[in-house]
């Protein structure tokens, strides 16, 4: 007698991570045909980019070569912030040769903060690191941040000023002065006791990233203090790690104009906190892939 193949039956709760065909039935079971789905990578590296055609090619060569040399299970994501040059084309050319590289295009030029948030929320890794496109902190410094996460931190931030001798090429004096004044204002207004909030080299466990970045409101240069303020508000452990850092020419920050804007954004963060603009979410459970928001509940409040 001929035996006919019948799809195996799994309870509905078991079918979350597999694809299936569902047939009309009143049964509490779903009929499924198994298909292996790709697992999420261990690491995601997010690189925001705006008109970076002059240096992005060299950056991608270094990052991709390092990832492969380390044998990392990783993805590299470039977020193109409405560039008017060939930034997107450069990424697509690299991606055609290396499938771990992905391109995300913003809807126009929205700012570095928007770009980082967009990349962090679309990243699939269990650990997500973002780095400036100029690699002011070399990608070889990443293990310092990753080690801090392995030792119990939720977030590890690179620091140029925790040990100033790690600066291989210092900023011009006027930018150093601007940075120190801005840091003092952050301590006074937001209570952030970090030596360096602005270094573009930060790593997050997935649960921390998925809890913080949906709440982020600042879309331009002042987003770093906001995400650190949110990390403290939600009770995440943040550690500051000294990293090698070298000033790169071509920076687009004007100390006077952008400094004034960043100060305004700093005040906005304080105002949002006062009026409850950051309420309505909590850290995500487990691997950070699912949790329902609870109004006004923080990590500390939940454990209390």
CATH number of the domain that residue 152 is part of = 3.90.550.10
Any domain includes 303: no
User: What does the buried/exposed string (b/e) look like for 203-235 if buried means 16 or more CB atoms within 10 Å of the residue's CB?
Assistant: bbbbbbbbbbbebbebbebbbbbbbbbbbebbb
Predicted pLDDT at 238: 97
Tell me the whole-structure pTM to 2 decimals. 0.76
| Residue owning tokens 């006077």 | 256
| Residue owning tokens 């044998």 | 71
Any domain includes 126: yes
Helix/strand/coil for 27: coil
CA angle 184, 234, 243 (to 5 degrees): 50
**C-alpha–C-alpha distance, residues 58 and 68, integer Å:** 16
Structure tokens at 54: 């002059």
Domain with 225 in it: 43-275
Q: Which residues of the chain have pLDDT under 50?
A: 1-34, 284-304
Predicted pLDDT at 174: 58
Any domain includes 147: yes
44 CB-contact burial (10 Å; exposed 0-12 / middle 13-18 / buried 19+): buried
**Count of positions (residues) in the chain:** 304
Any domain includes 298: no
Do 59 and 81 form a contact (C-beta atoms < 8 A)? Answer: no
86-to-8, 52, 114, 226 alpha-carbon distances in Å: 50, 8, 20, 31
Do 201 and 137 form a contact (C-beta atoms < 8 A)? Answer: yes
Any domain includes 1: no
Any domain includes 139: yes
**C-alpha–C-alpha distance, residues 266 and 182, integer Å:** 10
Q: How many helices (H) and strands (E) does the chain have?
A: 9, 11
CA angle 41, 298, 261 (to 5 degrees): 80
Any domain includes 82: yes
Give the other-Cβ count within 10 Å of 270's Cβ: 12
Half-sphere exposure of residue 197: CA atoms within 13 angstroms, side-chain side: 27
Predicted pLDDT at 300: 38
**C-alpha–C-alpha distance, residues 32 and 20, integer Å:** 4
Do 236 and 156 form a contact (C-beta atoms < 8 A)? Answer: no
Radius of gyration of the chain (CA): 22
Any domain includes 226: yes
**C-alpha–C-alpha distance, residues 277 and 273, integer Å:** 6
Predicted pLDDT at 180: 64
| Residue owning tokens 């070399």 | 138
Predicted pLDDT at 101: 98
Q: What is the tally of structural domains in the chain?
A: 1
């Amino acid at each position: 007698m001929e035996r006919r193949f019948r799809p195996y039956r799994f309870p509905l709760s078991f079918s979350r991570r597999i694809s299936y065909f569902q047939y009309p039935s009143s049964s509490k079971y779903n009929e499924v045909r198994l298909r292996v789905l790709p697992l999420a990578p261990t690491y995601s590296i997010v690189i925001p980019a705006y008109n970076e055609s002059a240096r992005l090619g060299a950056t991608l060569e270094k990052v991709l070569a390092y990832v492969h040399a380390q044998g990392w299970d990783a993805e590299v994501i470039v977020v193109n912030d409405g560039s008017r040059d060939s930034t997107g084309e450069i990424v697509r050319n690299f991606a055609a040769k290396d499938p771990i590289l992905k391109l995300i295009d913003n809807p126009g030029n929205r700012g570095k903060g928007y770009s980082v948030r967009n990349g962090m929320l679309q990243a699939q890794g269990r650990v997500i690191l973002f780095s400036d496109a100029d690699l002011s902190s070399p990608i070889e410094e990443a293990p310092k941040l990753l080690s801090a996460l392995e030792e119990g931190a939720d977030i590890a931030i690179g620091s140029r000023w925790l040990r100033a001798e790690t600066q291989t090429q210092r900023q011009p004096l006027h930018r150093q002065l601007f940075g120190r004044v801005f840091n003092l204002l952050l301590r006074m207004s937001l209570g952030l006791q970090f030596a360096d909030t602005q270094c573009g080299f930060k790593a997050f466990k997935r649960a921390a990233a998925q809890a913080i970045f949906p709440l982020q409101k600042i879309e331009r240069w002042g987003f770093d203090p906001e995400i650190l303020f949110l990390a403290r508000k939600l009770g995440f452990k943040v550690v500051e790690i000294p990293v090698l850092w070298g000033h790169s020419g071509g920076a687009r920050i004007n100390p006077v104009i952008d400094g004034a804007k960043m100060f305004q954004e700093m005040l906005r963060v304080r105002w949002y906190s006062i009026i409850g603009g950051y309420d309505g979410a909590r850290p995500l459970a487990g691997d950070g892939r699912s949790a329902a928001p609870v109004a006004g509940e923080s990590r500390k409040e939940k454990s209390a």
